[in-house]
Structure 1
Amino acid sequence: MSTFTPFGDLTGRKLLLATLVLALANFMVVVDTTIANVAVAHITGSLAVSTTQGTWIITSYAVAEAICVPLTGWLAGRFGAVRVFASCLMGFTAFSILCGFSHTLEMLVFCRIGQGLFGGPLMPLSQALLMRIHPPEKHAQAMGLWAMTTVVGPIVGPIMGGWICDNLSWHWIFFINLPIGIVCIFAVLHLLKPAETQIAAVKVDAIGLSLLVIAVGALQLMLDLGHDHDWFSSQLIQALSITSFMAFVIFIIWEMTEKNPIVNISIFRHKGFSIAVLTLGCGFGAFFGSIVLIPQWLQTNMGYTATWAGYLTATMGIGSMTMSPIVAKLSTKMDQRILASFGLVILAGVTFMRAFWNNEADFMALAWPQILQGFGIPFFFIPLTNLALGSVLPSEVASAAGLMSFVRTMGGAIGASLAVTIWDDHASISRSEMVSRLHPETTVDMLVSQGYSHQAALATISNLVNQQALTQSANHVFLVFSTIFILGALVIWLCPKPKKVAAGPTH
């Protein structure tokens, strides 16, 4: 086997260090997608904002990241992959520090947007640079390490975030990026310079990018502000919805006629790609909405600390790490529609199990759906990714992977917003229904006879009603998400039978 590398002395120990640095940078960005999930309750309490507003901390990062992913190829071609990677690391680290120093929701959301904008290109660039610095015979091992950091990151994030919030302060979930960022920046500048890519004055589709930012930004603002402004009875929400719809329509028309589009819309002509990506986006929205909602419900209703909410959330990692290599192997031998449908049915089943949770459930009753979900996740992600990339032309794989990443990330952001909004709205309905059936005088008299004051008795009843309303509402959200997974399991059979397995990027 050849061990030739075109990058001078980037061999042996230096190559190993460069590989570890790229994997570590990817790990840092992936952890930041989930580390804030268990911290939302702490942050909202500290900043005195509602749970719905607290979700902006998660969705602002996801939306900014989604907008920046399609720009990665242009940035690397215009300025060089290593320069862009180092610059993005600097920006991500700087905005992480600013997030930690934030003392208002507005400042924190602004800094999370900055994190997302600089963090978006880091995942695909870390993957591309790993492929670039290793000879072809080592690509599989390099991608194995990259995939491991991508799988382990969402497991470590909730545990780390919970422990930091309980033992230090939520500000430190952002400050911990500082030492990692500095090490990665220093190492990239000193190790990866020989692997810099060629640059060219590539024209950027500025109009397409502007339309994309307006469309996505208006849509996310509508979802995040809708609850507080009573949805479409508000002129602001009406204006945002019209703006988003019109910008999306114009964006699609523009991209279909542009010579160098920011997003290659024409890839959607492949039926298999369109159905697989639509299923992936909707399924990931339901999945991500659940993992955002569960830690908040655990801390609000069940009295869990952020640490224990992180432990519970992370139990799904057991199955993910176990099944990923098995599913990858099965994907080369079986009809991937069967695997994807099986995975979606598992996710539907575990989400349906959650729809019967109550306030007396113990840790294991809550953990079992998480553990089983972990076994289903690889069946969901890997076959759908292969179905999508296997449906396009070889020359379109890179663009298709970027577009798939954009749809998946946007699905997650929308799913998180909808989960918390439905949870909050339906809790009010459940509360009203329960109050209408209560006979408070009898209950108050009983509590007073047990030594409660009249005010304390009323407060106790109110707290119980609120807890039950929030649990019933969470169950309602899980029922909706379970239905989405079932629909996905059926829709995926509209894909043409795959003839090949794509071996392309999965970022």
Structure 2
Amino acid sequence: MPLKPLEGARRVWVTLALSLAVFMQVLDTTIANVAIPTIAGNLGASASQGTWVITSFAVANAIAIPITGWLAKRLGEVRLFLLSTTGFVITSWLCGIAPNLEALILFRVLQGALAGPMIPLSQSLLLASYPDEKKGMALALWSMTVIVAPIFGPILGGWISDNWHWSWIFFINVPIGLAAIAISWKELKGRETAITAQPIDKIGLALLVIGVGALQIMLDRGKELDWFSSGEIVALTLVAVIALAYLVVWEKHNPHPVVDLSLFRHRNFSVGVLCLSVGFMLYFGTVVLMPLLLQTQMGYTATQAGLAMAPIGILPVILSPIIGKNAQRLDLRWIVTASFLIFAACFYWRTTFNPQMDFAWVVWPQFIQGIAVAGFFMPLTMISLAGLRADQIASASSLSNFMRTLSGSIGTSLITTGWERREAVHHVTLSSQISVYDPNTSTALAQMHAAGLSQQQAAALIAQDITRQGFFISANEIFWLCSILFIGLTLLVWLARPPFKPAGGGAVVDAGH
């Protein structure tokens, strides 16, 4: 029998505990990014070696997320969530006291692996705590933490690096995690889900580890190694393609798959996950691009860039509960369509970005885009999980979150690589227009000479300006492409079919409290 929904204060406490866990885990994926130079320098490593602090977590996390559903059936959702969160807290503390880079990378691998089940299970356990008519509100509250945490990450990471020791980037997880564990144990210990002693799909697990691990390393190191001009990247790509292809074939015919690919037979799950993945790929790729553009081409500090990005989280906090409260009465496809069109408009707005723009011109599209974000995560998650059985939710949530996480990595790699390569093209084009015989060039050189600059200084200033213009033109092209793709996604979401009935929530009756 399904679990009875929680009521009153118990539901509030469970929502708080699960939100804290999600916030902590999502925050951890972005907070370390801005501190890599500080961490590497402090531990006597190069900046490129320091990037393994990010890569090691991402690879282990990407492998752990899709097997959450399988682990939940063997251990129980509540037990697995508590084990995962406890392990995350312990490894966060170990990361903070790591004596060298090798130890830090090892602890980050463990942290990423243990963190994998936290987000999918928080979603599943939250849905089980709410009645059908309020499941939209539950997902709205959950999605707010996923939205806000990546914005706070760079700001908090930069501030800690500038004012405290980098270890506090990891120590900050300890009190948050302990609070989440204590509340979750108190409120959920009598709500364990059904446990089935499924055999271990050893071949499927091995193929998943090899395929996803190779793919994630390829995406993280591709730009650094110039992609397919590197033998390492070619080899990683071949390993990933072969392993994942075999995984799909193997799991389709395995009675106890480690990843339940049969979920894609559900039309709404396939459409919802595809829209969520492609939309998140475009959204997250530009979340990474924007601070790079502001810091490298406009001289923003990490904290200033973080503050410029932060307004995107304001409107979702206000609108998400409203959308969640009314989700049962609305056709979710219209909400997602409006979201995609607002995304498209905001990206088109950014095609006007230029080196002379002020802070407000950066902030306003971020603020307005918050409307789109509010209508993106929660409605698409509801579409994806609509109509699934209670015992399918953990597997569906883990597979959906895996696809979203992987899409974020793909978006980051594609967009940052495209940005740099298109800049090189524009650099050549702009440079070809610079000539001593050109009246505009002659006038500019004369003005710089009159200001006291030497010939070499003037040439260096022109070269710097060409580079800056090239990066802005390249970024504007990416924004334009993202705008077009979001318009295309509005057609895709209409392949989903109502009714979007609330997803199931658990597997046994509440054993009391």
Output the TM-score relative to the length of structure 2: 0.82
In structure 2, the residue matched to 1:251 is 247
Query: What is the DSSP-based 3-state SS (H/G/I as helix, E as strand, rest coil) of the residue aligned with 2:375?
Result: helix
Q: Does structure 2 retain, via aligned residues, the 8 Å contact 1:353–1:369?
A: yes
**Whole-angstrom distance in 1 between the partners of 2:10 and 2:396:** 33
1:265 to 261, 286, 290: 261
Deviations 1:152-192 (CA, angstroms, capped at 9, x unpaired): 43443343234324433555322322333355556667776
CA shift, 1:316, in A, is 0.8
Residue 70 of structure 2 aligns to which amino acid in structure 1?
W
Q: Is 1:177 equivalent to 2:173 in the alignment?
A: yes
Residue 223 of structure 1 aligns to which amino acid in structure 2?
L
In structure 2, the residue matched to 1:311 is 307
CA shift, 1:22, in A, is 4.0
CA shift, 1:87, in A, is 3.3
Q: How does 1:65-464 map to 2 (within 5 A)?
A: 65-100=61-96, 111-129=107-125, 146=142, 148-168=144-164, 170-184=166-180, 201-390=197-386, 392=388, 396-439=392-435, 442=442, 446-464=447-465
CA shift, 1:246, in A, is 1.5
- Alpha-carbon distance change, 85 to 403 in structure 1, aligned in 2, over 3 angstroms: closer
CA shift, 1:99, in A, is 4.5
Residue 342 of structure 1 aligns to which amino acid in structure 2?
A
**Whole-angstrom distance in 1 between the partners of 2:201 and 2:500:** 33
**Whole-angstrom distance in 2 between the partners of 1:139 and 1:233:** 49
CA shift, 1:260, in A, is 0.7
- Alpha-carbon distance change, 486 to 16 in structure 1, aligned in 2, over 3 angstroms: closer
Residue 498 of structure 1 aligns to which amino acid in structure 2?
P
CA shift, 1:498, in A, is 1.2
CA shift, 1:204, in A, is 2.5
Query: What is the DSSP-based 3-state SS (H/G/I as helix, E as strand, rest coil) of the residue aligned with 2:500?
Result: coil
**Whole-angstrom distance in 1 between the partners of 2:101 and 2:429:** 33
In structure 1, the residue matched to 2:477 is 476
CA shift, 1:261, in A, is 0.8
CA shift, 1:296, in A, is 2.0
RMSD: 3.7
Range with greater deviation from structure 2 (258-267 or 396-405)? 396-405
**Whole-angstrom distance in 2 between the partners of 1:320 and 1:54:** 34
Query: What is the DSSP-based 3-state SS (H/G/I as helix, E as strand, rest coil) of the residue aligned with 1:316?
Result: helix
**Whole-angstrom distance in 2 between the partners of 1:380 and 1:216:** 26
Range with greater deviation from structure 2 (382-391 or 435-444)? 435-444
Deviations 1:429-450 (CA, angstroms, capped at 9, x unpaired): 2222222222379556653442
Deviations 1:86-145 (CA, angstroms, capped at 9, x unpaired): 432343234434545679887766554433211121223344555678999998887776
**Whole-angstrom distance in 2 between the partners of 1:231 and 1:20:** 43
CA shift, 1:81, in A, is 4.3
Query: What is the DSSP-based 3-state SS (H/G/I as helix, E as strand, rest coil) of the residue aligned with 1:67?
Result: helix
CA shift, 1:465, in A, is 2.6
The sequence identity of aligned pairs, in percent, is 44
Q: Does structure 1 retain, via aligned residues, the 8 Å contact 2:121–2:397?
A: no
CA shift, 1:386, in A, is 2.3
- Alpha-carbon distance change, 366 to 59 in structure 1, aligned in 2, over 3 angstroms: farther
Residue 488 of structure 2 aligns to which amino acid in structure 1?
L
Range with greater deviation from structure 2 (376-385 or 31-40)? 31-40
CA shift, 1:391, in A, is 6.0
Q: Is 1:30 equivalent to 2:65 in the alignment?
A: no
Range with greater deviation from structure 2 (53-62 or 483-492)? 53-62
**Whole-angstrom distance in 2 between the partners of 1:489 and 1:134:** 30
CA shift, 1:350, in A, is 0.7
CA shift, 1:225, in A, is 3.0
**Whole-angstrom distance in 2 between the partners of 1:348 and 1:44:** 38
Q: Does structure 2 retain, via aligned residues, the 8 Å contact 1:64–1:117?
A: yes
**Whole-angstrom distance in 2 between the partners of 1:136 and 1:500:** 11
Range with greater deviation from structure 2 (190-199 or 295-304)? 190-199
**Whole-angstrom distance in 2 between the partners of 1:344 and 1:274:** 18
CA shift, 1:488, in A, is 1.1
CA shift, 1:301, in A, is 1.6
Range with greater deviation from structure 2 (350-359 or 84-93)? 84-93
CA shift, 1:235, in A, is 3.0
Deviations 1:393-415 (CA, angstroms, capped at 9, x unpaired): 66644432322121111111211
Q: Does structure 2 retain, via aligned residues, the 8 Å contact 1:62–1:410?
A: no
In structure 1, the residue matched to 2:511 is none
In structure 2, the residue matched to 1:465 is 466
- Alpha-carbon distance change, 358 to 344 in structure 1, aligned in 2, over 3 angstroms: same
CA shift, 1:314, in A, is 1.5
In structure 2, the residue matched to 1:500 is 500
- Count the aligned residue pairs: 495
Residue 482 of structure 1 aligns to which amino acid in structure 2?
S
CA shift, 1:37, in A, is 5.3
**Whole-angstrom distance in 2 between the partners of 1:276 and 1:136:** 19
Query: What is the DSSP-based 3-state SS (H/G/I as helix, E as strand, rest coil) of the residue aligned with 1:359?
Result: coil
Q: How does 1:1-80 map to 2 (within 5 A)?
A: 20-36=16-32, 39=35, 49=47, 61-80=57-76
Q: Does structure 2 retain, via aligned residues, the 8 Å contact 1:218–1:240?
A: yes
Query: What is the DSSP-based 3-state SS (H/G/I as helix, E as strand, rest coil) of the residue aligned with 2:232?
Result: helix
Deviations 1:440-499 (CA, angstroms, capped at 9, x unpaired): 795566534422344443433333233222222222222232232122112222x14312
CA shift, 1:254, in A, is 0.5
Residue 489 of structure 1 aligns to which amino acid in structure 2?
T
- Alpha-carbon distance change, 335 to 444 in structure 1, aligned in 2, over 3 angstroms: same
CA shift, 1:253, in A, is 0.6
Range with greater deviation from structure 2 (253-262 or 214-223)? 214-223
CA shift, 1:290, in A, is 1.0
**Whole-angstrom distance in 1 between the partners of 2:485 and 2:105:** 29
- Alpha-carbon distance change, 463 to 439 in structure 1, aligned in 2, over 3 angstroms: same
- Alpha-carbon distance change, 457 to 171 in structure 1, aligned in 2, over 3 angstroms: farther
- Alpha-carbon distance change, 62 to 349 in structure 1, aligned in 2, over 3 angstroms: farther
Range with greater deviation from structure 2 (231-240 or 192-201)? 192-201
Q: Does structure 2 retain, via aligned residues, the 8 Å contact 1:227–1:425?
A: no
CA shift, 1:28, in A, is 1.1
- Alpha-carbon distance change, 70 to 154 in structure 1, aligned in 2, over 3 angstroms: same
**Whole-angstrom distance in 2 between the partners of 1:297 and 1:453:** 29
Query: What is the DSSP-based 3-state SS (H/G/I as helix, E as strand, rest coil) of the residue aligned with 1:473?
Result: helix
Gaps of 5+ in 2: 506-513
**Whole-angstrom distance in 2 between the partners of 1:213 and 1:436:** 49
Residue 62 of structure 2 aligns to which amino acid in structure 1?
A
Residue 487 of structure 1 aligns to which amino acid in structure 2?
G
Gaps of 5+ in 1: none
Structure with the bigger RCO (C-alpha within 8 Å, sep 6+) is: 2
Residue 360 of structure 1 aligns to which amino acid in structure 2?
Q
Deviations 1:15-39 (CA, angstroms, capped at 9, x unpaired): 9767644442232113223434555
**Whole-angstrom distance in 2 between the partners of 1:473 and 1:65:** 32
Residue 428 of structure 2 aligns to which amino acid in structure 1?
S
Q: Does structure 1 retain, via aligned residues, the 8 Å contact 2:69–2:259?
A: no
Residue 498 of structure 2 aligns to which amino acid in structure 1?
P
**Whole-angstrom distance in 2 between the partners of 1:473 and 1:105:** 35
